[in-house]
Amino acid sequence: MTDWEAVVGEHVQIVRRTVYRLVGNHADAWDCVQETFLEAVKIDRREPVRNWPALLRRLATVRALDLLRARSRQRDRRSTDADPEQATSREPSPSCQAEARELADRLRVAVGQLPRRQAEVFCLICFEQMTSEEVAEQMGISPTAARMLLSRARRRLERLLRLSRGAAREEGSRT
Amino acid sequence: MEDRRGFNPDELLDRAVDAVLREPIPDDVPADRVAEFAAAVRQAADQPSPISLIRRITNMKLTTRIAVAAAVLIAAVGLMSWLVPGRGAALAFVNVAEALTNVQSARWKTTTLTKRPQGEVVTDHRIGMFLAPSSERMETTVAGVPGSKTIAILEGRKALFLNPLLKQATVVNVKINVEGFPPEAGPWGRTFLGLRETAVAAQSGKLGETEPLGTRVIDGRRAVGFRIQHDRTETTIWADPKTSLPIRVEYAISGETEIHTVMTDFEIDPDLDKSLFSLKVPEGYAVLDTVQLELPKTPLILLAKTLGMAAELNDGVFPSALLGEQGHYQNLPRLGTAYVERKYGKDFAAYMEKTFGKDAAEMPEAGEDRTEILREMAEIRKEAFQLPATIAGTHALLRNLSPEHDWHYAGKDVRLNTPNRPIFWMKDWMRRPEKQGKYEVIYADLSVKEVGPEDVPEVPASEGSSEE
């Protein structure tokens, strides 16, 4: 019998940070946290969980990516791809931080455009700092496949970031 | 972190990742809110919510669902209707047989409600089409599952399953080893033909008890109804008294899992293009797999397999009975699920998702990984087709056991692989004259042999035509 109070108490902050890093605001992050634990309940019913932190970080990443992809689809519909501020809803910041923040937001937008598994592997390795072996175990794939997905994700992200930088500059020169 | 060791500030992507990681994250969630949330999670965990295999299947990626849906279709429209002769309901009005025999094409709708023991109800809708002499097309959609449409084109021993969304095709061929089976006949495309043969069986005098239901108006038309109770299946046919053609047909199977199927909206002899029934893979579709199914020469081999599966799930001991409330027959609907869960882990869908849920673009293009994945996919798909066929064949056999078969079950308390131990025997299932006096015997090692009258097992049977 799983002690859910203990599991939640021990891991909720990790899960929240994982999600927040990707979605960038409180309200969305908390929604994803709740969904993450409810998904964990279902999994725990089916099989014993051996590695709670790894499982929860993966589930949290998947939920957050779902949200990023939904935002990406909304942006597509509104045809405002080059507006990274729509990805998050934060106040402007001093210029040196603003540049980093703008870059981070562009990366979030780009991650939302990746194929599901590529995005998952990229986030777990690059943001959650899991090894490709850990990611492979969680996703039920081989470490080689995980590394391959990461490599494809990086190539595609580099291209998307370059494109979005060009679009942002173009937008800046018009205004 | 292995992939950030080589952080390069000149690389745009590395700088972007770094920017994300350096962003401040707001304060932790207050302890009282965490406690409140933890209590809610525990409450959710305490709720009983078993997830059935069918529900998991509907939640699968479409690439895997097609194979499983196809397998379920085998059980639904295939073996059940032909494996054992003399089955089925009879109609009290013999004109229906003649009317149905003259039908060249037909279209109808089918709705099936499956109610699981936990109360969960799964609904699927089909559009069925028939083209003489023996072609059938079924378009199936699972309610509430967008994009779940599958198309099955069925004829005799060949079937083609199509996933229109993914443009994928699965080809299934059946090799039939049944002795004396008509050379062209097969398990596929039996829905309309089965209805026709039921009527013919009525004419030939192989009638069960038929209860007249009188007259009723259905969809604005007067209809004459008959109900036939056969074991646990109740068949109700409402036919137009003028044309003798069906207006509505209902099948209700009672038991732990209740299945209720309704065929409605019959259109007789509509113009149906031959191309709708073509077994050729349509242009633009990729062939996901080609499956070769083999049906044994006697259904006792199927019974032996399912008894073996049941024993494996019961610490190696065969079921205590075949029929009755706790018998093997009653447990067949759950047997496949239990067996699959034992073999692939409790969460079959998760297993399938992990194993096959790879987007085509993300499959390794070459190398050992790809070969291994493809090999495993092929094996599982084969089993996904064979398992329901085995169970359906057993179901049909047990449902049709009659005193004339002089059948005996002696598997109670017997362990799997006990040497030279018969657990079931019966006369030829087709009652063929040339097999008169001979018995087929299933042994505890799951072998099946034919023996003469002098070698009929002498072990005491706990269940059978004349219970000892």
The pLDDT of residue B358: 43
Distance (Å) from the C-alpha of residue A174 to the closest C-alpha of chain B? 24
Question: How large is the angle between the packed helices A4-23 and B31-46, nearest 10 degrees?
Answer: 110
From CA B131, how far away is CA B272, in angstroms rounded?
A: 8
Q: Which of B126, B144, B97, B45 is nearest to B239 (CA)?
A: B97
Residue B185 CA from chain centroid, whole number:
20
Contacts with B362 from chain A: Cβ below 8 Å: 115, 117-118, 149, 152
Residues of A in contact with B345 (CB under 8 A): 46-47
What average pLDDT does chain B have? Answer: 74
pLDDT, average across residues B81-104: 54
C-alpha dist (Å) from residue B9 to B148, B292, B419: 47, 57, 73
Tell me the average pLDDT across A12-37: 86
pLDDT at residue B69, as a whole number: 41
CATH superfamily for domain B86-277: Lipoprotein localisation LolA/LolB/LppX (2.50.20.10)
Cβ contacts of B367 on chain A, cutoff 8 Å = 144
Q: In this predicted structure, what is the pLDDT of residue B418?
A: 93
- Residues with Cβ within 8 Å of A40's Cβ and at least 6 positions away in sequence, in order, are A7, A49, A55, A56, A59
What pLDDT score does B145 carry? 60
pLDDT digits (tens, 9 = 90+) for B360-374: 445 556 666 666 666
Q: Report pLDDT digits (tens) over A121-141.
A: 999 999 998 998 888 888 877
Calculate how close chain B gets to A53, using CA atoms only, in Å.
Answer: 16
Maximum mean pLDDT: which of A37-51, A90-104, B97-111, B217-231: B97-111
Spatial separation of the C-alpha atoms in residues B69 and B281, rounded to whole Å: 18
pLDDT at B77: 38
Q: Angle of helix B12-22 relative to helix A143-174, nearest 10 degrees?
A: 90
Mean pLDDT across A129-155? 86
**pLDDT in the model for residue B459:** 82
Q: Which residues fall within 8 angstroms of residue B78, CB to CB, at 6 or more apart?
A: B187, B188, B190, B389, B392
Residue B334 CB partners (closer than 8 Å, separation 6+): B256, B257
Of the two residues B271 and A149, the one the predictor is more confident about is B271
* B313: exposed, middle or buried (Cβ count in 10 Å: 0-12, 13-18, 19+): middle
Using the Cα atoms of residue B66, residue B72, residue B78 and residue B83 in order, give the sign of their dihedral.
Answer: positive
Confidence check: pLDDT of B317 > 90: yes
B186 vs B173: CA distance, rounded Å: 10
Checking if the pLDDT of B162 tops 70, the result is yes
By Cβ distance, the residue of A30, A103, A144 closest to B19 is A103
Give the predicted TM-score (pTM) of the model: 0.49
Q: What percent of chain B has pLDDT over 90?
A: 19
Q: Which tens digit of pLDDT belongs to each residue from A40-90?
A: 887 887 778 888 999 999 999 988 998 888 777 766 655 444 344 344 434
Cβ contacts of B236 within 8 Å, gap of 6 or more: B213, B225, B226, B227, B228, B248, B249, B250, B252
Tell me the percentage of chain B whose pLDDT exceeds 70.
65
For residues B125 and B412, the model is more confident at B412
State the pLDDT at residue B83: 34
Domain boundaries of chain B, sorted by first residue: 86-277, 298-464
pLDDT of residue B211: 67
Q: What is the mean pLDDT of residues B22-37?
A: 81
Tell me the mean pLDDT in the region B270-296: 86
Dihedral sign, Cα of residue A51, residue B44, residue B29, residue A59:
positive
Residues B27-35 have a mean pLDDT of 80
